[in-house]
Structure 1
Amino acid sequence: MIAPTPLQEAKDQETKPEVVDENEEIDDEVDGDPAENGDAKKKKKKKKPKKKKPVQSDPPRVGLSKFFPNGAYPEGEIQVKNTRTSNNSYRTTSEEKRHLEKLANEDPETTYSNIRRAAEVHRLTRQYARKHIRPGMSMTEIAEMIEDGTRALVEENGLEAGVGFPTGLSLNNCAAHYTPNAGDKTILKDGDVLKVDIGVQVQGRICDSAFTLTFDPTYDKLLEAVQAATNTGIREAGIDMRLGELAGLIQETMESYEVEVGGKSIPVKPIANLSGHSIGLYQIHGGKSVNLVRNDDATKMEEGEYFAIETFGSTGRGYVIESGECSHYARKIDAPHVPLRLTSAKSLLTTINKNFGTIPFCRRYLDRIGESKYLLALNHLVSQDIVESYPPLCDDLGAMTAQFEHTILLRPTVKEVVSRGEDY
């Protein structure tokens, strides 16, 4: 359709008849005396005030439902699922697959609008964070800036919508699972490499996406390597792709990079014991793993699955161990029903079930809802295999690590990178 020129629009305006809204109120007053002026002057119309469009605040705190009242949230990046093992391009035109996609979208448990709403919250929150995170800020200040934005934009409502997991702010050799506990005084410094891992959930659908920030160009190549590896994983992922082969493609991309530090070239290594993963309903790790090093896993990606394609690179040995004070926890999906000898543990489990269910949480979140002196009870729940603890995961001291991640949805017809944005 050809757009009209400004000149044509002006001509059309001159000849276009005036349209009267039947719902507009009519002013009954008549100017002057009809006897003196002849016919009464035309009655004046009172225009209804135009409905103001919502405007997002700075920082973003206006709930997304104000901008998308019909619940139609933006799609992510669409890719046709062509992998090296299977050409799935027929799916885009298959009537059968279109019908299956329609059914999936209408199912309350799988509706795409939930994950897209979570993804739009993620984009707005992280774009603000990327502009405002600066050296000199505390880890607590950064975490609260991100989480306050997430809660406001998603319009937090118990287990219906909220934060998908504690904001990861892992520094330098620490690759994952660090968020500040109460009293943490850690300050971001100029030479730090900061991983920012943000989760948003709507109706149990979790958008999981992460990026890395550095304020010193020394480690730019490290970030480039990891982002490229993540993009390889996204591009090659698809229905019928075998997880072991996908891991090999990710590894190949990452290992093609080097970082120069102090005049010495250091190869970028994928962190062998970290991985991407499938995402279940109210379950951040859904059972399938996308490792970062080639292996013999013949498990296939399947239609309808959600995956977090995340890669971690390191200038160290490429292997992490648990190190430091634990902050991340989650109630296990298959937690056993065991008698709890501590009354405080019973009470805390009730609180966890009510506020988090199986969504991961951290100690700051317990503080926020008014829990206190809970560490003994929390450790007891961990020892009884009801709650899983996730301590920080670190490479050798002196190594630098980076992370990039996106959530993808394997729809029956196409692959949708739901968390993709203009920033990464």
Structure 2
Amino acid sequence: MLYLKTDEEIELIRISAQVLGKAHAEVAKRIEPGVATKELDRVADEFIRDHKGQPSFKGYNGFPSALCISVNDVVVHGFPSGYRLKEGDIISVDCGVLLNGFHSDSAFTYPVGEIQPEVKALLKRTYESLYQGIGKAVAGNRIGDIGFAVQSYVEQAGYGVVRELVGHGVGKFLHESPEVPNYGRRGQGPVLKEGMTLAIEPMITLGKRSVVQERDGWTIRTTDRKPAAHFEHTVAVRKGKAEILTTFEYIEQVLADRSMAIA
């Protein structure tokens, strides 16, 4: 089912997204060597509930946590745990907020201390590819235009595009139609219409694009065990230019204060 949103509903998603962006920033403040990933989950869960929201992921198809936390070669859907971050790790934090009946969804991949130059380049290129895709989320374009923009931008740098996992519509439900792959052909796929709200989320690998699911039924890793990066915004399709509803503003202020900017 495809849900087109009114301007009032899009504004409700934006309000949800403000809480989400601030929750991300609270997590970002605590990312450093030695912190357990389950502590990051606790911080996000408490912040969201303190601001009258609900963590979208917690309980979704049995998922146990407020955050998907994916370290190094884990692409997405990793569980928060007792694992303590180490210098040189990277950590993807994916989070959703349900507030006033609407979900918002975003993800950001952070360096932990000093990381290898090739991994830093992967983060920067993946971050940039998100905006390449968003630039095509315009009424009258097609889903394939978004995927092509992401795919061409990262593959020319030698990176892999995960194909088994895709972006999606988002709104009253965490996952709505249409699916939004990070690969595709220009001019192919469903037509984008004003009022669509999409979670665009490049998942990009340093090595091969192939992935495997762990026995827990959730965790997705690269088969070659090389690092992967993941960035995500919720956007509204508009005429002329997409409207980004989620925000990295609060995250990037924390990173700037800690001299950790990635782009």
Fold similarity call, TM over 0.5: yes
In structure 2, the partner of 1:276 is 167
2:33–2:84: 8 Å Cα contact kept in structure 1? yes
Of 179, 183, 188 in structure 2, the residue corresponding to residue 293 of structure 1 is: 183
> What one-letter code is carried by the residue in structure 1 that aligns with 2:148?
G
Q: Which has the higher contact order (CA 8 A, sep 6+)?
A: 2
In structure 1, the partner of 2:255 is none
In structure 1, the partner of 2:27 is 129
- In 2: Cα distance, 1:243 partner to 1:104 partner: 21
1:225–1:268: 8 Å Cα contact kept in structure 2? no
| Secondary structure of the corresponding residue to residue 217 of structure 1 | coil
1:240 aligns with 2:137: no
In structure 2, the partner of 1:320 is 211
1:143–1:179: 8 Å Cα contact kept in structure 2? no
What is the deviation of 1:272? 2.1
2:139–2:237: 8 Å Cα contact kept in structure 1? yes
In structure 2, the partner of 1:104 is 6
- In 1: Cα distance, 2:212 partner to 2:188 partner: 23
What is the deviation of 1:297? 4.1
- Structure 2: 5+ residue stretches without partners: 58-65, 253-263
In structure 2, the partner of 1:168 is 68
- In 2: Cα distance, 1:146 partner to 1:420 partner: 16
TM-score (norm 1): 0.52
What is the deviation of 1:418? 0.9
Moved segments of 4+, more than 6 Å: none
TM-score (norm 2): 0.82
- In 1: Cα distance, 2:45 partner to 2:91 partner: 17
**C-alpha distance after superposition, 1:177-198 (max 9, x if no partner):** 1123xxx422211122110001
1:125–1:146: 8 Å Cα contact kept in structure 2? yes
- In 2: Cα distance, 1:415 partner to 1:253 partner: 19
The CA RMSD over aligned residues, in Å, is 2.2
In structure 2, the partner of 1:3 is none
- In 1: Cα distance, 2:7 partner to 2:183 partner: 34
In structure 2, the partner of 1:309 is 200
Of 205, 216, 231 in structure 2, the residue corresponding to residue 404 of structure 1 is: 231
In structure 2, the partner of 1:150 is 48
1:201 aligns with 2:201: no
> What one-letter code is carried by the residue in structure 1 that aligns with 2:87?
D
> What one-letter code is carried by the residue in structure 2 that aligns with 1:292?
N
Go from structure 1 to structure 2 and tell me whether the alpha carbon gap of 1:198 and 1:173 turns closer, same or farther (over 3 Å shift).
same
1:277–1:288: 8 Å Cα contact kept in structure 2? yes
What is the deviation of 1:113? 3.5
> What one-letter code is carried by the residue in structure 2 that aligns with 1:320?
V
Of 217, 229, 232 in structure 1, the residue corresponding to residue 115 of structure 2 is: 217
What is the deviation of 1:412? 6.6
- In 2: Cα distance, 1:314 partner to 1:236 partner: 22
**C-alpha distance after superposition, 1:290-348 (max 9, x if no partner):** 2112248421111211100110110121122211424xxxxxxxxxxxxxxxxxxxxxx
Count of residues in Structure 1 that have an aligned counterpart in Structure 2? 236
Go from structure 1 to structure 2 and tell me whether the alpha carbon gap of 1:229 and 1:246 turns closer, same or farther (over 3 Å shift).
same
1:228–1:254: 8 Å Cα contact kept in structure 2? no
- In 1: Cα distance, 2:150 partner to 2:109 partner: 18
| Secondary structure of the corresponding residue to residue 221 of structure 1 | helix
What is the deviation of 1:135? 1.5
**C-alpha distance after superposition, 1:377-419 (max 9, x if no partner):** xxxxxxxxxxxxxx11111253100001100012578632011
> What one-letter code is carried by the residue in structure 2 that aligns with 1:417?
I
**C-alpha distance after superposition, 1:327-376 (max 9, x if no partner):** xxxxxxxxxxxxxxxxxxxxxxxxxxxxxxxxxxxxxxxxxxxxxxxxxx
1:251 aligns with 2:78: no
- In 1: Cα distance, 2:175 partner to 2:141 partner: 19
**C-alpha distance after superposition, 1:130-166 (max 9, x if no partner):** 122112111111111111111112x1xxxxx411213
**C-alpha distance after superposition, 1:230-271 (max 9, x if no partner):** 0101112111211123211111111233xxxxxxxxx32111
Identity across the alignment (%):
25
- In 1: Cα distance, 2:211 partner to 2:227 partner: 12
Matches within 5 A, 1:370-409: 391-409=218-236
Q: Identify which range, 298-307 or 221-230, moves more after superposition.
A: 298-307
> What one-letter code is carried by the residue in structure 2 that aligns with 1:188?
L
